[in-house]
Amino acid sequence: MAAPAQSERIDLVGAFRDAAFTGLVAFGLFLPLIGFQTVTNINDELILATRWPLLFAFVAITAAGRFAYSAALAPWLAERSRRPPRPAASRWRFYLGKWFVPFAIAFVIAYPVAVILAVGFSGALKWIDNFGIQILIYVMLGWGLNIVVGLAGLLDLGYVAFYAVGAYSYALLAKNFGFSFWILLPLSGILSSFWGILLGFPVLRLRGDYLAIVTLAFGEIIRLILINWTALTNGYAGISGIPRPTFFGIPFTAADNGFAAVFGLEFSPLYRVIFLYYIILALALLTSFVTVRLRRLPVGRAWEALREDQIACRSLGINTTNTKLTAFAMGAMFAGFAGSFFAAREAFISPESFTFIESATVLSIVVLGGMGSQIGVAIAAIVMIGGTEILRELDFLKQIFGSTFDPTQYRMLLFGLAMVLIMIWRPRGLIATRAPSVFLKERKTISVDLVKEGHG
Amino acid sequence: MIAREDSMLLSVEHLTMRFGGLVAVDDLSFQMKRGTITALIGPNGAGKTTVFNCITGFYRPTEGRLALQRGDPTLWNTLESLTQSGERGVVQQNGALFLLERMPDYLVAQRARVARTFQNIRLFAGMTVLENLLVAQHNRLMLASGYTLLGVLGFPSYASAERAAIDKARDWLDRFGLLDRADDPAGELPYGAQRRLEIARAMCTDPVLLCLDEPAAGLNPRESAELNELLLVIRGEHDLSILLIEHDMSVVMNISDHVVVLDYGIKIADGAPDAVRNDPKVIAAYLGVADEEVAQVEAAVGL
C-alpha cells in the first residue's frame, strides 16, 4: 500500500514543479506580449502602460493547466496507451463517412432558414453574414489553394495576390464599364488565372523554399502595385461604391424597383445577405465539385504524381512545367472568383484587405485541414474563421478581465496555439488519409505517412 | 561513318558527357538491334547511369549523336539530313526517327517512346498501384479527356478511355503478379514487388525501348530468375528492345544478346556475352590483375 501512495505523492510534487516552470516560461513569454501595452494618453503621447492583473491571470491559467495535465491527464493518457487498442467502431465510422457529406451540404443549404427560425429576422443578419459568408469565402479560398499546395505540392505563400486580382478586376470593370456581376465573375477568374500563368512561367522552375519565397514576393508586389498605382486603383483609399450584384436585374434596395418592393415584402438588408450567401455557397460547391472531378482526371493524377516524384513523372512523358502551370492557374482562378465575390459583397476594397496575413490564414487552413483533403479544409476554415468571429461575441470576458479587454486581440495567439496542438497530435492535418482516385476492387484509404508533401 | 544495319533501333555515336573537368562518358559508340536485350555493364562509377540519363534525355550530352528509329528502316537514310536540319526528329506514317540528344526528358518518353526505370526505385509511393499505372498512361488519357475540358464536363469519350486504361493496367499487373495488390499504396509493397511495379509502369507507356537501371538489384535469386523469364516473354510479345544496366552476372549472361562494357567512361568491350566474358580487358577491369602483371596487361590493353 505504501508504494503507490508514495509514487502518487512524488507525481504531485513533480507536477507542481512542472507547473511552476511552465508558469515561469509563460511569464517570460507573456510579459512583453500582454504585460506591457502602448497607449496614447490625453496629450497624444505614446506611453507604456502595464497590465499586471491580466498578465498574472494568464500565467495562472497556464500554470494551472499544466498542473492539471501532468497530475491527471498525462498519467491517464499513459495508462490508456498501455491498454490494448479497442477495436475501432468501424460501423459507426462507415456510416459517418457515408452520410457526413450529404448531411453537411443539406445543413449549409438550410442554414439561413435555420438561423432565421432560431434567432428571428433581425438577429439573423450577423449569423448569416459574419459566420456564413465569411467562413464560406475562406472555405472556397482553402479549396482553391488546396489544388496548388495539397494536390500539386507547390508551396504558394502569395495566394492572396490572385484574390486581389479578382477583387480589383471586378471593382474596376464594374465601376468603369458597368458590366454585371455575372459577366465579371468568370472574367475575374480568367484574369486571375492569367496572372497565375504569367507568374508561373518564370517561377515554376524553382523548387521548394525558393518557390515559396518568390510567391511570397509576388503577393507583396501585387499589393504594392495596388497601393502605388493611384491613378488606377486609388491607392490606400481603395475603391468604394462598387456595384452590388442584383437578383436577375432587381437590385436589393429600398427603392420602388427594389427586391423587397417587387416581391411585396418589407425592406430588409437580410435578403441581399441571403442572396450573397447562396452565391458564395454555389461558388464554394463548384470549387469542390471541380476539384473532386479533376482528381479523377489525368491532370489531377498528374498533379498528385508531381507531388510524389517529379523525376518519375518526366520519365513517363509528363510535361511537368505545363502540369504545374495548370495547377497554378486553376488555384488562381478560384481565388479570382472568390475575390470578385468579395468585392461585390463589401462594395469597398482597399489594399488593406490583401496583406500577407490573408495568405498565411488560407495556407494554415489548408495545412491544419490536411493537405489534399476537402472535408479537412472545410472544417479547418470553420474552426479558424468561425473561431475569430466567436471571439467578438465573448463580451462576458470583459466582466472578468476588465472593460479594456478585447478578445479579438488574442486571435493570433489562439491560432498559434491551435497550430502547435495540431502539429503535436496530427502533424499531417485533421484528415490525414488520402482517398485513391480509382480502384479495382476496394477503395482503401491511404495513410498519409506514405504520401509526400511535395517540394515544388 | 558507322555501318548501319536495317534492324538497328538505337545508334549511339561518339557520346561524350563531361561534368566540369570530369569525363563521365568518353566517346562511346554502340548500336542496338531491334528486339534484342543489350546489357551495359562495368565497375562502379564507370558511367553506365550517365549513358542512361543521356539516352532518356535527363542529361544533355556534351557531344555525340543518339538516334532512335522505329518503323520503316529506310528512315535511317535521312539521318544525315535530319542532323543538318536542326529538327528533333521526323515522324512519318510508317515510322519515325528521333535524335534523342535534342529532346528534353519528357519528350523522349512521350514521342520517341523510350521508357526507363531508376536505380533507386521511384514510385508514386502515396498513390495506389493502379494509380501508378494510370499516371503512366497520362498522355493518351489527357487527349481522351479533351485536355481536361471534356473530362470535367463528363463526356463519355473519357469514361471509355479510362476503362481501356484500367484494363491495360490490369493486364500488366496480372503479368507481373501484382493484381491482388492493385488497390494498395505503392509504398507499402515489398521491395521486389516495387521493382516489378516500376517495370510494369514503364511498360504502360508502350515503349519501343525499355531502359532498366539495375532491375535485379535487391532481388533474391528466385525473384531475379522470374524477372529474367518475364523480360524475355515481354520482349518476344511486344516488339520491345531492352537496354539494361546490371551487376548481377547471372541476369546479364542469361538474357542478354549483346553486352557493352564500360570502364571509366570508355568502352572496353562490345559483343556477345560469351565473348565479353572471356575478354582479358573485361576480366582486368572487374577483377584487377596481380602487381607483377600490371605492365604486361596495360601494354596488352593499350593504356
A46 contact B CB<8A: no
Rounded to the nearest integer, the mean pLDDT of chain A is 85
- Reduce the DSSP state of residue B205 to 3 states and report it: coil
State which residue of chain B sits closest to A439, comparing Cα positions: B183
Q: Which fold has domain B1-113+207-303?
A: Rossmann fold (3.40.50)
Distance CA B98, CA B82 (A): 9
State which residue of chain B sits closest to A438, comparing Cα positions: B131
* Contacts of residue A138, Cβ cutoff 8 Å, sequence gap at least 6: A361, A362, A365, A381, A384, A385
CA-based torsion, B204, B209, B214, B216: positive or negative:
positive
Q: Could you report how far apart the first and last alpha carbons of chain B are, in Å?
A: 25
Tens digits of residue pLDDT in A101-127: 888 899 989 888 888 888 887 778 888
Contact across the interface for A440 and B105, Cβ inside 8 Å: no
Residue A91 pLDDT:
66
Q: Which stretches of chain B are DSSP H helices?
A: 48-55, 79-85, 105-110, 129-136, 138-144, 149-153, 156-175, 191-203, 221-237, 249-255, 273-277, 280-287, 294-301
Residue A2 pLDDT:
43
All structural domains of chain A: 2-80 (no CATH), 118-393+426-447 (1.10.3470)
A301 contact B CB<8A: yes
Residue B80 pLDDT:
87
Is pLDDT above 70 for B220?
Answer: yes
Residue A5 pLDDT:
45
Residue A93 pLDDT:
67
* Number of C-beta neighbours around residue A193 at 10 A: 26
DSSP H or E run through A447: strand A446-447
- Phi, psi torsion values for B101, nearest 5 degrees: -70, -15
* Number of C-beta neighbours around residue A257 at 10 A: 10
Residue A89 pLDDT:
54
CA-based torsion, A84, A90, A91, A96: positive or negative:
positive
Nearest to A298 among B109, B141, B183 (CB): B141
Contact across the interface for B151 and A440, Cβ inside 8 Å: no
Residue B297 pLDDT:
64
Give residue A5's identity as a one-letter amino acid code: A
Cα A60 from chain centroid?
Answer: 31
CA-based nearest distance B283→chain A, Å = 34
Is pLDDT above 70 for B64?
Answer: yes
Q: What angle do CA A69, A73, A75 make, to 5 degrees?
A: 115
Question: Using CB atoms within 10 A of its CB, is residue A391 exposed (0-12), middle (13-18) or buried (19+)?
Answer: middle
Residue A87 pLDDT:
54
Residue A264 pLDDT:
76
Which 8-state DSSP code applies to residue A242? P
As beta bridge partners, residue B213 has B245
Closest CA to A211 of A289, A293, A260, A152: A152
Cα B5 from chain centroid?
Answer: 21
Nearest to A309 among B124, B154, B202 (CB): B124
Residue A159 pLDDT:
93
Closest CA to B230 of B206, B189, B260, B197: B197
* Contacts of residue A259, Cβ cutoff 8 Å, sequence gap at least 6: A247, A250, A251, A252, A253, A265, A271, A272
DSSP H or E run through B27: strand B22-33
* Contacts of residue B136, Cβ cutoff 8 Å, sequence gap at least 6: A316, B201, B202, B204, B205
Distance CA B268, CA B246 (A): 16
A312 contact B CB<8A: yes
Domain ranges of chain B: 1-113+207-303, 123-204
Residues in A closer than 8 angstroms to B126, CB to CB, are 304, 308, 434, 446, 448, 450-452
Tens digits of residue pLDDT in A55-110: 888 899 999 999 888 888 878 878 777 776 555 556 666 677 778 888 889 998 98
Q: How confident is the model at residue A190 (pLDDT cuts 50, 70, 90)?
A: very high
Nearest 10 degrees: CA dihedral of A66, A67, A69, A73?
180
Residue A6 pLDDT:
45
- Reduce the DSSP state of residue A64 to 3 states and report it: helix
Q: How confident is the model at residue A205 (pLDDT cuts 50, 70, 90)?
A: confident
Q: Answer for the pair A353, A160: CB distance below 8 angstroms, yes or no.
A: no
Closest CA to A237 of A247, A227, A222, A246: A227
Cα A135 from chain centroid?
Answer: 8
Distance CA B157, CA A85 (A): 48
Tens digits of residue pLDDT in A13-43: 888 888 899 999 999 988 888 888 888 888 8
Contact across the interface for A316 and B184, Cβ inside 8 Å: no
Q: What angle do CA B29, B35, B36 make, to 5 degrees?
A: 55
State which residue of chain A sits closest to B124, comparing Cα positions: A308
* Contacts of residue B44, Cβ cutoff 8 Å, sequence gap at least 6: none
Residue A184: C-alpha distances to residues A187, A245, A340, A343 (Å): 5, 10, 8, 11
Tens digits of residue pLDDT in A316-352: 999 999 999 999 999 999 999 999 999 999 889 999 9
DSSP strands (E only) in A311-427: 348-349
Q: How confident is the model at residue B4 (pLDDT cuts 50, 70, 90)?
A: low
What mean pLDDT is predicted for residues A124-144?
A: 90
Give A383 or A95, the one with higher predicted confidence: A383
Residue B40: C-alpha distances to residues A412, B31, B228, B245 (Å): 60, 12, 16, 5
Is pLDDT above 90 for A389?
Answer: no
Residue B298 pLDDT:
67
Is pLDDT above 50 for A3?
Answer: no
Closest CA to A276 of A132, A404, A416, A419: A132
Rounded to the nearest integer, the mean pLDDT of chain B is 87
Distance CA B33, CA A312 (A): 27
Residues 116-135 of B with CB under 8 A from A: 116, 118, 122-128, 130-131, 134-135
Mutate to test the interface with B, among A297, A326, A450, A452 (most CBs of B within 10 A): A297
Closest CA to A428 of A359, A373, A378: A373
B152 contact A CB<8A: yes
Q: How confident is the model at residue B1 (pLDDT cuts 50, 70, 90)?
A: very low
Cα A160 from chain centroid?
Answer: 12
